[in-house]
Amino acid sequence: MHIEADLDEIHTERLLRLQEKLQKPLAEVVAEAIDALSDVTLPQTETHGTRIRRILEQEGLIGCMEGDGHLSVDYKNHLWGSEW
pLDDT of residue 32: 93
The phi and psi torsions of 55 (rounded to 5 degrees) equal -65, -45
Q: Which residues of the chain have pLDDT under 50?
A: none
Summarised one tens digit per residue, pLDDT across range 24-42 is: 999 999 999 999 888 787 7
Q: What is the dihedral of CA 63, 66, 71, 75, to 10 degrees?
A: -130
Domain boundaries along the sequence of the chain: 1-63
Rounded Cα distance, 8 and 66, in Å = 60
Residue type, 69: G
